[in-house]
Chain A
Amino acid sequence: MIEIRDLSMTYPAASGKPVRALDGINFDVTSGEFVSLVGPSGCGKSTLLKIIAGLYRPTSGVASIAGRPIAGPSRDIGMVFQGPVLLPWRTVLQNVMLPVEVQHLDRVAFHERTQALLATMGLEDFHDYYPYQLSGGMQQRVSIARALIQNPAILLMDEPFGALDAMTREGMNLELLRIWSGTGKTVIFVTHSIIEAVFLSSRVVVMSSRPGRVLDVIDVDLPMPRTLDVMGAPEFGRLAVHIRSRLEYGAGGAVAAAAAEPTEARS
């Protein structure tokens, strides 16, 4: 579904010396998978996500979807940002309808879908509320509904729950899993929480700090559907410890060793 091949990204920096954000990234995501990108701050995982979203162009290498190199934003992709990024002058309903309006689609046809989505998100009583009247968790749910409105095949999520408190975050994780298993979407989820990554994903891509490289790709063979109880399973702990050790290994400057041990590209 999504293929990333030898992808590198270099930013022109204000200080003059260009910053290498991503270096030789390779991995694949198959259709219907839930893949998390885990890594320390500044490892370029958000940049990688935005390249897949068609917002940035890589300096070298190719990212493609269904065999076609990504040339720009696509209706097949829904994006959820770190903050809810809601427009404060629009109601919940109007915010969710924003993509429909921007792309001049039939509002009436989408109205029913919006209603259904908001109901799924537990927001059926909040259509006419403004973002500032909602809690952080509710705001982020609105932004997920907005990302889903056009029924995209791919959902890209950039640390969407990072700003939420722990309880709300767990609730959102469960909801996300429910949506994912109910719709069969392909999800790429950026986080720096190892627990979150293991809990949600079918696979975890571990990245090193700047320049971002893929240190390891780890399969999460925990049964679906998952509940919060899975966090107590021995396998869960083993995977979390393993990912942590990979991250520390990467942080210890052993990047060359990791690169010499090529990460397997699956498809």
Chain B
Amino acid sequence: MSPGRRREAALSVLLGLAVVAVWELVVRAFAVPVYVVPAPTAVIVALGRGLASGVYIVHLAYTLVEALLGFVIGSLLGLMLGAAIARSPLLERVIYPYVVGFQALPKIAIAPLLIMWLGFGIWSKVAMVAMIAFFPMLVNVITGLRAADRDSLDLMRSLSASEWQVFRMLRLPYALPYIFAALDIAIVFSLLAAIVAEFVGSQSGMGNLILQMNFSMDVAGVFAVLIILSVVGVALHLVVAKLQRRVVFWSEKNDMTGMK
């Protein structure tokens, strides 16, 4: 790290500490009730208690299974439909208006229906997450598979490459940076979608835990769960980003989400 970067990092940490300190002081000075806004120290105590009790493990595992299953299913569906649409302008004109209409729909509004159809268990959340993860992949795959430039296509054609070869050796690698950008967006949204779907109706999971704590006015506990979720979200993003740097090492388009 260069001295300049190190100073920026130090500043960033200082800012965080300052905010926490001011928060603590304000809560103490004005004697804010713990069920309105807990002091950072109270949050840390709640976090420690939660970690020690093991309560997060079961709920987090439940939420992660929902988020990851939905993420994989939604991304795969987006990949397949995107590849089909990228190949066929006819399909694009016929299907795309519905896809756009579906995307314009606030999908969380479907959550009550999903619970009615698929029950309070894992599958209603998986469906929700899949719907959210689907669209970024769809759009990016279409763009990515059409991103190969004229000259590269002419090159492949001048070698009498088959359409499958053009796809495999040219279009797909060209689409990879776009695919990873979609994965990066989708993984963060997947966690969000799982939590929100749990709010609507669930038996377990981090969203369910937040609701339980809210009902018992354990606001410090809610904050502790938020910290866990934030850490998990960043970790998931980092996994995708790491994978992306390994797979599409040649691409400059390395971080399109703006999260570093």
Contacts and interface: CB of A to CB of B under 8 A. Distances in A.
A174 B11 CA distance: 56
Please tell me the size bucket of the interface on A: 20 to 34
Nearest to B154: A55
Given A88-B250, A102-B165, A73 B159 contact: yes
A217 to B, nearest CB: 26
B169 A99 contact: no
B165 A82 contact: no
A249 interface: no
A88 B174 CA distance: 9
A85 B165 CA distance: 17
Interface string A56-89: 0000000000000000110101010111010111
B12 interface: no
Contact of A81 (B155, B170, B248, B250): B155
B249 to A, nearest CB: 8
Interface string B198-230: 000000000000000000000000000000000
Interface string B150-170: 011011111111000100011
Contacts of B173: 87, 89
A131 B154 CA distance: 19
B154 to A, nearest CB: 6
A136 interface: no
A50 interface: yes
A262 to B, nearest CB: 32
B152 A103 contact: no
A132 B169 contact: no
A87 B160 contact: no
A118 B124 CA distance: 58
A85 B152 contact: yes
A53 B250 contact: no
Interface in B121-180: 149, 151-152, 154-161, 165, 169-170, 173
Contacts of B155: 79, 81, 85
Interface residues of B, number: 19
A172 B249 CA distance: 30
Interface in A87-113: 87-89, 98-99, 101-103
Contacts of B248: 89
A236 interface: no
A54 interface: yes
A132 B250 contact: yes
A83 B160 contact: no
Nearest to B148: A87
B159 A98 contact: yes
A89 B158 contact: no
A239 B165 CA distance: 46
Contact of A55 (B158, B161, B170, B249): B158
B150 to A, nearest CB: 9
Contact of B156 (A50, A88, A102, A130): A102
A224 B183 CA distance: 58
A89 B160 contact: no
A54 B251 CA distance: 32
B154 A81 contact: yes
B169 A87 contact: yes
B125 to A, nearest CB: 37
Contacts of A79: 154-155, 158
B72 to A, nearest CB: 24
A54 B151 contact: no
22 contacts: A55-B158, A79-B155, A79-B158, A81-B154, A83-B151, A85-B149, A85-B151, A85-B152, A85-B155, A87-B152, A87-B169, A87-B170, A88-B251, A89-B250, A98-B159, A99-B159, A101-B169, A102-B160, A102-B165, A102-B169, A103-B160, A131-B250
Interface of B: 149, 151-152, 154-161, 165, 169-170, 173, 248-251
Interface of A: 50, 53-55, 72-73, 75, 77, 79, 81-83, 85, 87-89, 98-99, 101-103, 130-132
* The 7 nearest A-B residue pairs measured at CB: A88-B250, A102-B159, A85-B151, A73-B158, A102-B161, A81-B151, A79-B158
Given A87-B173, A103-B160, A130-B249, 4 more contacts: A72-B160, A73-B157, A87-B152, A89-B248
